[in-house]
Structure 1
């Protein structure tokens, strides 16, 4: 009797080990805070994946830079870790340079245009190149809003921006873009921006509607000019070797849920843009439309400042956008 019980227990142990061997836990790292829309959408996605796979695909979300982010984030993927990186396209550009150009200045007029661009043969080819470099792009349809000019006067034309000291992140593409637009870009820490505007160290900054509201920067700069000079987007990246650990059914579930999450994120982003614009108007903020064609013409030169990008990449992307717009 004892031997039978021992054998049964041993069999149960083997079964449990077999089940455990089929489970995979993956860390997801992103810089966005837990309270932000994009993080909330990704938490819902991973919960749904966990539910639909009976816990066999367990993606743990680590927001707010708890784990490595930016370049170090994508390196985890390339090195084959059980890892998902959530970063903008410029970091894939370190491996497939032209991906960086898709996040370049003055490209998209609407969220729909960006989403349509992600469905082009151009992006499909770049995506295949990324996979050869060790980066499988599960989805690149996640957006977090357009960036605009936040100042104390309207910036309708390049002449209005000429020589103005504008705070930018310490990123070459931001510095080059604002310089091309006619501003004097100032790479200062974001934590110093409010006081910098207040004291006249800078005359404004660039950022999203949500940034303007959440930081109360409207207290010191109450005009937002809708330049749309950048669109904030991120992709969802995983190692092909980790992806291959999933069964075809699990892969389909993961792709379906990230696609559904992207759609939900876009719908909620549109709502938040409207809600926060109304809240900012209540605080006395004036919204102004910009001559985006004039700024677009000036920023075309930025695409020549990155030698790793294809020489004609701005024209290639522009041709795709013309098709999307039906021109």
Structure 2
């Protein structure tokens, strides 16, 4: 009886392997299309959105439509905390959010988005490749969030005003628009400003009418929103680096075949490289255009602002008490190796 069963199994294996038709049947039965929503707050025409649309198209093409990622920009679907909750709940969902939102699950992750850390895009990318960050990724995956990629950036944030700012004393009494985030509020306060939480769509009129004295944002933001029409100075504080991570449920990820996982990883990696290259290009291009439009750029006392903002890391009780020194040690090692 055992001999007969073995003969039947061998014959079946030969039939499956003897032609393309058999391979196609197995593939069609075992790999079912998976539709996934990707939610992000960035608008349709922003660089990061365009790069992720290209990535999703490539993944769809390379997987023959079996991984179908639909990109929903501009907050059409839940964003911020609600975005991450979809992932944690195991939905067919990919969230694109700032690293600070991972802090709700692994507090120290938020510190990687803290003030005055990175001097360049390369430093941030090197930080994401450290064992320290790998450990945080492992911790957050245990909470139901797999970090597919954290290398997507949208630029350094600077002070945008009608006044040259070089040191903290220059910011005294200035009302600066910030997002409604405690990290932003604490940071701008430590730098000497009076932070004012204001919806971004109201910011242009707010600066124009003197409700606020300026805002903080990137070169790309200043140009694309035409804020340069009401604020003619950018002080290069680099107080934050705008970054996002790409997050998925480990449960959903495990439904992918190894080949699908490899394709998704490869295309997200390639998209991050393309995004960085284009960001560097646009930084230079928009700086030149802004200068032609009458905007003045100036350097600041980075050492002073770094010293003042260091205390921000002590204002979040859930963060490790030595988190700032831990991150700085990693950055010192990165800088020494460059």
Same fold (TM over 0.5): yes
Counterpart of 2:328 (choices 302, 318, 327) is: 318
Counterpart of 1:245 (choices 246, 255, 260) is: 255
* Runs (5+) with no aligned partner, structure 1: 1-14
TM-align CA RMSD: 1.4
Spell out, residue by residue over 1:85-105, the C-alpha distance to the aligned partner (whole angstroms, 9 max, x if none): 000101111001000000001
Residue 153 of structure 2 aligns to a residue whose secondary structure is strand
Does residue 223 (structure 1) correspond to residue 233 (structure 2)? The answer is yes
For the 8 Å contact 2:114–2:183, the answer to whether it is kept is yes
What is residue 156 of structure 2 aligned with on the other side? 146
Counterpart of 2:307 (choices 283, 286, 297) is: 297
Distance apart, 1:181 and its partner CA: 0.3
What is residue 7 of structure 1 aligned with on the other side? none
What is residue 11 of structure 2 aligned with on the other side? none
What is residue 43 of structure 2 aligned with on the other side? 33
Q: Distance in 2 between matches of 1:190 and 1:234?
A: 19
Does residue 271 (structure 1) correspond to residue 288 (structure 2)? The answer is no
Alignment of 1:116-265 (within 5 A): 116-265=126-275
What is the number of residues matched between the two proteins?
313
Spell out, residue by residue over 1:12-42, the C-alpha distance to the aligned partner (whole angstroms, 9 max, x if none): xxx6995486221111111111111101101
What is residue 6 of structure 1 aligned with on the other side? none
What is residue 11 of structure 1 aligned with on the other side? none
Residue 163 of structure 1 aligns to a residue whose secondary structure is coil
For the 8 Å contact 2:31–2:66, the answer to whether it is kept is no
Q: Distance in 1 between matches of 2:93 and 2:142?
A: 17
Answer with 1 or 2: which has the greater Rg: 2
Distance apart, 1:224 and its partner CA: 0.2
Spell out, residue by residue over 1:86-140, the C-alpha distance to the aligned partner (whole angstroms, 9 max, x if none): 0010111100100000000111011000000000111000000011000000000
Q: Distance in 1 between matches of 2:40 and 2:26?
A: 33
The runs of at least 4 aligned residues of structure 1 exceeding 3 Å deviation read 15-21
